[in-house]
Amino acid sequence: MEPLISVIVPVYNVEDYLDQCMESIVSQSYPHLEILMVDDGSTDSCGTLCDQWAERDTRVRAIHQKNGGLSAARNTALDSMTGELVIMVDSDDVLHPDAVSILLHILQEHHADVAIGSYVFFDGKDVNWPPISREKTVRHYDGQEALKAIYYQDKLTNSSCWRLFKASLFDGVRYPVGLYYEDLAIVYPLYKKCSLVVGTDDVVYGYRQRNDSILGRFSLKRADVLDICENLEKQVLTENSELAPPVRSRLLSAYFNILLLSYQDKTQDFKELQDRCWQGIKRLRYNCMVDNNVRLKNKVGIIASYLGRIFLCDIIGRKYHPKR
């Protein structure tokens, strides 16, 4: 079977990286693709580059819209796609030449709803791809198990990239416009629909490290992760209480992360935000400490928190972000 696969590429002011990204997509060993480039109001040459790619390859469609952010661009593509399956690619990243083939193979072989690969960071021109395993070890999760693995931050991440989804999972599900951490916001509605999720350690995605990326700098918008996780905690307590411990573990990670990042930024006063994080840490730390599934990094933070807020921020914070 050769299903049509929609590749969604949100584009905003990445003229230095876009051609490399697109070359990695159009050169995929699996050819039956529909490639949706959504120019989200770019102010550089990206709009022109999108049109040029659409002229070069009939599988590419260039869509232009006013700037609305990553979520808005992805939603536009979701509304326009016609594929049976969908994969997300950020426009400064790249795909392994066999990425789609690898993910499609394990998804079809195991009759799964989502197939998840792995990724490698790169910051130069080319990616040093590790070899693909001939004998793949494929991990299996039902929807509930996948959610636990994501929220406990154990082998699965909340990213929408380096995975292949059945397009039907997005029926009635869209990314929240205007929020950071949009991937985390749709994990629950997506994966609770899944009967089977499969994962492989094969690296299918090159994740470019950029200091100027949205999450490469601190701002109050980073606190969106707290709103997302706190609202999720309330939701699962009424709908799916078994997920409350892993969700609280993820929320604790968010409190630690935002507290330490804001503490390092001396350009603004983040006292109200820091107080919110500290109160959250104190509320969750005991239950997370006795939860055997909570990751070691969180437990180290919990122990440090019992020695006081100053110790946590000043001592642990320096090790947590060694560039300081």
Residue 34: pLDDT above 90? yes
Asked if residues 117 and 200 have their Cβ atoms less than 8 Å apart, the reply is yes
Nearest to 301 by CA among 292, 291, 293, 288: 288
Residue with token string 């790619």: 53
278 bridge partner residues: none
- Confidence category of residue 324, pLDDT binned at 50, 70, 90: very low
Domain layout of the chain by residue ranges: 5-208, 218-320
Residue 197: pLDDT above 80? yes
Region 180-185: mean pLDDT is 96
CATH topology of domain 5-208: Spore Coat Polysaccharide Biosynthesis Protein SpsA; Chain A (3.90.550)
- Confidence category of residue 217, pLDDT binned at 50, 70, 90: low
| DSSP element (H, E) containing 63 | strand 60-65
Report pLDDT for 215. Answer: 53
- Confidence category of residue 318, pLDDT binned at 50, 70, 90: low
Region 260-274: mean pLDDT is 88
- The SS3 assignment for 69 reads coil
Report pLDDT for 216. Answer: 53
Dihedral sign for Cα atoms in the order 184, 190, 196, 201: negative
DSSP 250-295: HHHHHHHHHHHHHHH-TTS--HHHHHHHHHHHHHHHHHHHT-TTS-
- Confidence category of residue 264, pLDDT binned at 50, 70, 90: confident
Task: Give the span between the Cα atoms of 63 and 277, in whole angstroms.
Answer: 40
pLDDT per residue over 95-115, tens digit each? 999 999 999 999 999 999 999
Measured CA distances, 158 to 50, 121, 150 (Å) = 28, 16, 6
Residue 268: pLDDT above 90? no
Task: Give the span between the Cα atoms of 190 and 319, in whole angstroms.
Answer: 35
CA dihedral 266→270→275→276, nearest 10 degrees, is -130
Q: Which residue has the higher pLDDT, 32 or 213?
A: 32
Report pLDDT for 4. Answer: 98
Report pLDDT for 116. Answer: 98
Region 23-44: mean pLDDT is 98
9 bridge partner residues: 37
Report pLDDT for 321. Answer: 47
Nearest to 84 by CA among 37, 32, 39, 36: 32
Region 79-101: mean pLDDT is 98
Q: What angle do CA 72, 75, 81 make, to 5 degrees?
A: 145
> Dihedrals φ, ψ of 216, to 5°?
-90, 0
Report pLDDT for 314. Answer: 81
Task: Give the span between the Cα atoms of 247 and 234, in whole angstroms.
Answer: 10
Residue with token string 């009759």: 111
| pLDDT above 90 coverage of the chain, percent | 86
Q: Which residues have CB under 8 Å from 65's CB, separation 6+?
A: 38, 39, 40, 41, 72, 73, 76
> Dihedrals φ, ψ of 157, to 5°?
-110, 170
